[in-house]
């Protein structure tokens, strides 16, 4: 029933509603520069009307909800693109660091050292009995070896740093997952009580974006407002108010570097390393396990090519002291590594049998049903046979000796060149042993072997795919530079995408000061009118009271 007291109540409710609307507007203005903040609005609605004659009459206004203005599709896109940005950004940073290690711009890199080495060989061929030329050649050879070793050490350090970054990123992922689970709990409690947890949702959104930068995630929200976060092809990282954990566990088959394992809390963990498809973790893993090892392999191939070619030619010549068959550099030391899953007691040793027949391809030796298979993993060429203890196999310049009792399924990785860059060193210390002559009778004036050594600079090396030593290194450096530039372009493109998505998000969730000032004036005027309404009702009551007197 309409009454003056009803008018007073309507005025009071209007004052409260407009005051709340002004508070919401104030919150928007205060957070205009807050990253990830979503604009809010007070949704006004009428209160329940009263039945009266000739019909229902309104009883006032109230704030039905404080709505968070978001475009869920755009928000999901923002989160998704964070994974790409996180990956490309770390790739750009690391590849730029790798590129600087191979920088020959100042004439202090491997390319210049290789050029200086062959220039010293050429000088020796012009004066084969010269003492100064021989001393210079040994010094240039040592410089080349040290440059190669130093570069290898720097790249190996990058691998170690990448592994440390992976461990640290896993720790960050777990911390973010725990915070998101806690926020899920708070949001669930608030919204079950009928509240809109707008600020908590914004905070959770920022954390999800931070998490997406570190690892690719998929998310979905239930009807209680709690977000489930999936990683690694469907493993729940956050489920309700519970966070699962990722573990960084050393892998004996990958130089002890950490693999990423999922821990569901049951006592059994699952390897997720290959299932991670984006984010900083993907970039770190790809760099550590694929990209940088590829550079290390090419550097080993270059070092092995220099060692193998120079040693073969040098051993054919004679020094001033009449000695021959001397290695100029420390000879190649082929490697054999068994997998940690091997069950037998087999031992595999590898040596160089025919230097001229070597390739620098990866090899695999495997056992099954009492037989062995030795395979070139690049060309697919194989050698097979029945195993009996001991067995020696000569294959593509390698002599492979097997002893013991290998188990079925046991596998060994073999290489003629692995580690050559890190162990490269000059074998000679006596300048008189440098073999410039092609025969003992030609000493000291014979320079024919020195000429052949100098010509190695332009020789097409079969083990290097037919490239010359300089050509192989130039191609290698070109690959490094190309990938570094590609990473730079990827980051720039991703930043543009991110800026576009931020603008799209801002169209819905961004705070416009012009709009908020307009709302502030609108709500202020409504507040003033509500106050005026109460004043009018008060005057009406005063009039009635004065009539009774």
Q: Is the pLDDT of residue 263 over 70?
A: yes
The predicted pLDDT at position 489 comes to 94
| Structure-token match 């070109």, residue found | 478
Does position 53 have pLDDT exceeding 80, yes or no?
no
Q: Which of 81-90, 124-133, 345-354, 536-545 has the lowest mean pLDDT?
A: 536-545
pLDDT at 152 over 60: yes
Half-sphere exposure of 176 (CA within 13 A, CB side): 23
Residue 222's pLDDT band, with cuts at 50, 70 and 90, is confident
Own/partner long-range contacts of 531-539 (Cβ < 8 Å, ≥24 apart): 531/11, 531/15, 533/7, 533/10, 533/11, 533/14, 534/8, 534/11, 534/12, 534/15, 536/7, 537/4, 537/5, 537/7, 537/8, 537/11, 538/8
Q: What does the pLDDT read at residue 204?
A: 94
**Nearest-angstrom CA–CA distance, 492 and 422:** 36
Q: How many CB atoms lie within 10 A of CB 365?
A: 24
Q: Grade residue 203 by pLDDT with cuts at 50, 70 and 90.
A: very high
The DSSP symbol for 247 reads E
Mean pLDDT, rounded, of the chain: 93
Looking at residue 549, its pLDDT comes to 56
Reported confidence tier of residue 364, pLDDT bands at 50, 70, 90:
very high
Residue 259 pairs in a beta bridge with: 249
Weakest-pLDDT range from 241-255, 460-474, 532-546: 532-546
CA-to-CA distance for 182 and 65, rounded, in angstroms? 24
Q: Is the pLDDT of residue 26 over 90?
A: yes
Predicted confidence (pLDDT) at residue 1 exceeds the cutoff of 60? no
> Binning pLDDT at 50, 70 and 90, where does residue 233 land?
confident
In which element (H, E) is residue 371 found? strand 371-376
Mean pLDDT computed over 481-499: 92
- State the pLDDT at residue 193: 85
* Alpha-carbon gap, residue 82 to 87, rounded angstroms: 9
Residue 328 pLDDT exceeds 90: yes
How is the chain split into domains, by residue range?
Answer: 4-69+513-548, 75-79+163-289, 333-416
pLDDT surpasses 80 at 548:
no
For residues 26-52, average pLDDT: 90
Pairing of strands 235-239, 382-386: unpaired
- Assess whether pLDDT exceeds 80 at residue 106: no
Q: Kindly state the helix (H) or strand (E) to which residue 47 belongs, with its residue range.
A: none
Cα(122)–Cα(113) distance, rounded to whole angstroms?
14
Q: With a cut of 90, say whether residue 2 has pLDDT above it.
A: no
Q: Return the pLDDT at 359.
A: 95
Given pLDDT bands bounded at 50, 70 and 90, which one contains residue 438? very high
């Amino acid at each position: 029933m309409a009454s003056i007291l009803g008018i007073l109540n309507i005025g009071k409710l209007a004052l409260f509603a407009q005051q709340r609307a002004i508070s919401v507007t104030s919150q928007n203005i205060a957070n205009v520069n807050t990253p990830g903040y979503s604009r809010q609005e007070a949704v006004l609605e009428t209160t329940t009307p009263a039945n009266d004659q000739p019909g229902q009459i309104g009883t006032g206004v109230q704030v039905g909800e404080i709505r968070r203005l978001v475009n869920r599709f755009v928000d999901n896109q923002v989160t998704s693109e964070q994974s790409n940005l996180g990956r490309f950004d770390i790739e750009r940073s690391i590849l730029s660091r790798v590129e600087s290690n191979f920088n020959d711009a100042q004439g202090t890199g491997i390319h210049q050292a290789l050029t200086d080495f062959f220039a010293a060989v050429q000088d020796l061929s012009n004066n084969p009995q010269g003492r100064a030329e021989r001393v210079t050649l040994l010094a240039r050879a040592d410089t080349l070896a040290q440059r190669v070793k130093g570069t290898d050490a720097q790249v190996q350090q990058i691998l170690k740093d990448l592994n440390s970054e992976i461990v640290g990123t896993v720790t960050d992922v777990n911390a973010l997952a725990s915070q998101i689970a806690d926020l899920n709990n708070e949001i669930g409690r608030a919204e079950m009580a009928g509240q809109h947890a707008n600020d908590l949702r914004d905070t959770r959104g920022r954390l999800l974006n931070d998490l997406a930068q570190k690892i690719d995630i998929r998310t979905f929200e239930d009807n209680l407002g709690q977000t489930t976060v999936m990683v690694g092809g469907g493993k729940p990282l956050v489920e309700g108010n519970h966070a699962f954990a990722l573990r960084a566990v050393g892998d004996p088959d990958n130089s002890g570097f950490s693999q990423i394992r999922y821990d569901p809390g049951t006592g059994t963990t699952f390897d997720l390393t290959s299932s991670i498809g984006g984010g900083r973790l993907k970039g770190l893993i790809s760099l550590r396990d694929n990209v940088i090892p590829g550079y290390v392999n090419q550097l080993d191939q270059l070092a092995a090519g220099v060692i193998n070619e120079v040693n073969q030619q040098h051993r054919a010549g004679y020094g001033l002291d009449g000695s021959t068959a001397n290695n100029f550099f420390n000879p190649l030391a082929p490697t054999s590594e068994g997998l940690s899953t091997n069950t037998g007691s087999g031992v595999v040793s590898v040596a160089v049998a025919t230097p001229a027949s070597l390739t620098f391809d990866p090899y695999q030796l495997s056992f099954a049903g009492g037989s062995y298979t030795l395979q070139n993993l690049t060309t697919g060429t194989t050698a097979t046979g029945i195993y009996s203890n001991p067995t020696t196999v000569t294959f593509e310049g390698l002599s492979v000796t097997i002893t013991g009792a290998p188990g079925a399924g046991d596998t060994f990785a073999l290489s003629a060149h692995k580690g050559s860059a890190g162990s490269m060193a000059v074998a000679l210390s006596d300048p008189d042993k440098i073999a410039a002559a092609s025969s003992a009778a030609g000493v000291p004036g014979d320079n024919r072997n020195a000429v052949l050594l100098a010509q190695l600079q332009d020789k097409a090396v079969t083990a290097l795919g037919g490239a010359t030593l300089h050509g192989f290194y130039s191609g290698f450096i070109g690959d490094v530079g190309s990938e570094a530039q590609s990473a730079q372009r990827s980051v720039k493109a991703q930043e543009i995408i991110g800026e576009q998505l931020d603008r799209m998000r801002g169209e819905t969730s961004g705070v416009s000061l012009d709009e908020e000032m307009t709302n502030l004036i609108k709500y202020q005027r409504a507040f003033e009118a509500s106050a005026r309404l109460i004043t009018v009702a008060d005057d009406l009551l005063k009039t009635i009271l004065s009539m009774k007197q």
